[in-house]
Amino acid sequence: MKNTLILTLLFAQTLSLLAKEVNVYTSRHYDSDELLYQEFTEETGIKVNIISGKGGALLERLKFEGKNSPADIFFTVDAGNLWKVQKEGLFQPITSQLALSKVSNNLRGPNNEWTAIAKRSRVIFYNPDNVSDDEIKNISYESLADNKWKGRIVIRSSSNMYNQSLVASLIDRNGEQNTERWAKSLVENFARKPQGNDRAQIMAVANGEADLAIANSYYIGVMLSGDAGEEQLSAAKKVKLVFPNQLSSGAHVNISGAGILKYAPNVENANLFIEFLLSDRVQESMVKKSYEYPIAKVPISDEMASFETDFKEDSASVKKFGELNPAAIKLMDRVGWK
């Protein structure tokens, strides 16, 4: 019985290899990604099979499937989520030198087990009617703890991975004690209890409920595109964006990224798929629809080009966001960041 099962699994894997396919588990929610997958199939003859879901649910599925998983690629947002998959021992090194050569070391995971596909920055949005040029000039994440911002800042909850990664990056740069003092003061400067998603924070600033919002850069692109509706388009036109820490470390940069799974039945196809995503032509097409920043030096969307494009990025290694995630969560809990 056992031998029969093993032979059946081996036969299934062999058929998968012959089928010219790649199986992608993804928590990204861009319709434009699916168009790129179709393009990959047209170019290579390799069919892309997609399983979509939330990152946590997909990770649990991978753990449950184990060696029998059909998944080749895990594609998600935030380095912290990629680190969780790697911590479970579910990735293998990417071997495509063409793909790796296009991504700087600080945007790749340990042992090259995952890589950035696109970038996003966690920035500050402000209402110019309520925030003066002098107040916003040379702002940093650290200066958000200043007393002058008391009751003026909105940000989403501490359970959000984007915020956890931002705090992890500050722990990496400034140390845990300094970051805890900063976070305690930041919480005291909140205009309201954390609620809603990143776009809700931008809306709050546009509507005068707060003066500053911390949110990911690409959300303003979505709002300005008009795809999110007239109300959000109108709100987006009322706010401005500023990249923090331009006189020091640079603005916090996180990623959308992908890795090849440990038990992938189509490893060669998976490496080709990552090469495809990092090609200049696909990079340009992807970020013009996702409003992210590219890894390659290609044009960005018109919506994002309306803001500063040549900003200083924090060069910290994104793998630290995962390694320091547990410390960041505990710290945020201690200071009462709900």
Beta strands in the chain (DSSP E): 21-26, 47-52, 73-77, 91-92, 115-126, 153-154, 212-216, 240-242, 253-261, 293-294
Residues 147 and 67 placed together within one structural domain of the fold: no
For the chain, the C-alpha Rg in angstroms (whole number) is 21
Tokens of 331: 């710290």
Residues 131 and 191 placed together within one structural domain of the fold: yes
Mean pLDDT of 46-72: 95
Each residue's pLDDT tens digit, 129-188: 999 988 998 999 999 999 999 999 999 999 999 999 999 999 999 999 999 999 999 999
Q: What confidence category does residue 19 fall into, taking pLDDT thresholds of 50, 70 and 90?
A: low
In a domain, 26, yes or no: yes
Burial 297-325 (b: 16+ CB within 10 A, else e): ebebbebbeebeeebbbbebbbbbbbbbb
Residues 201 and 319 placed together within one structural domain of the fold: yes
Report the interhelical angle of 325-334 vs 161-174 (nearest 10°): 100
Residues 58 and 126 placed together within one structural domain of the fold: no
Residues 129 and 215 placed together within one structural domain of the fold: yes
In a domain, 307, yes or no: no
Q: What span, in angstroms and rounded, lies between the C-alpha atoms of 110 and 240? A: 36
In a domain, 306, yes or no: no
User: What is the DSSP code string of 8-76?
Assistant: HHHHHHHHHHHTTEEEEEE----HHHHHHHHHHHHHH--EEEEEE--HHHHHHHHHHHGGG----EEEE
In a domain, 262, yes or no: yes
CB < 8 Å & 24+ apart, contacts of 84-87:
84/55, 84/59, 84/322, 84/325, 85/59, 85/114, 85/259, 86/110, 86/113, 86/114, 86/259, 86/322, 87/322
Q: Is the pLDDT of residue 334 over 90?
A: yes
Pairing of strands 21-26, 115-126: unpaired
Residues 71 and 143 placed together within one structural domain of the fold: no
Residues 236 and 135 placed together within one structural domain of the fold: yes
Each residue's pLDDT tens digit, 189-228: 999 999 999 999 999 999 999 999 999 999 999 999 998 8
Q: Do the Cβ atoms of 198 and 215 come closer than 8 Å?
A: yes
Residues 208 and 73 placed together within one structural domain of the fold: no
Tokens of 196: 């809603």
Pairing of strands 240-242, 115-126: antiparallel
Each residue's pLDDT tens digit, 217-264: 999 999 999 988 999 999 999 999 999 999 999 999 999 999 999 999
Q: What span, in angstroms and rounded, lies between the C-alpha atoms of 153 and 209? A: 9
In a domain, 140, yes or no: yes
In a domain, 218, yes or no: yes
In a domain, 244, yes or no: yes
Residues 321 and 186 placed together within one structural domain of the fold: yes
Query: What is the pTM (predicted TM-score) of this model?
Result: 0.90
Residues 164 and 281 placed together within one structural domain of the fold: no
Number of C-beta neighbours around residue 237 at 10 A? 10
Sequence-separated (6 or more) residues with CB below 8 Å from residue 273? 22, 24, 40, 46, 48, 72, 73
Domain span at residue 227 reads 120-252+312-334
In a domain, 39, yes or no: yes
Residues 266 and 132 placed together within one structural domain of the fold: no
pLDDT mean across residues, the chain: 93
Number of domains in the chain: 2
Residues 269 and 242 placed together within one structural domain of the fold: no
Written as one letter, the residue type at 63 is K
CATH number of the domain that residue 134 is part of: 3.40.190.10
Each residue's pLDDT tens digit, 260-316: 999 999 999 999 999 999 999 999 999 999 999 999 999 999 999 999 888 999 999
Tokens of 144: 């958000």
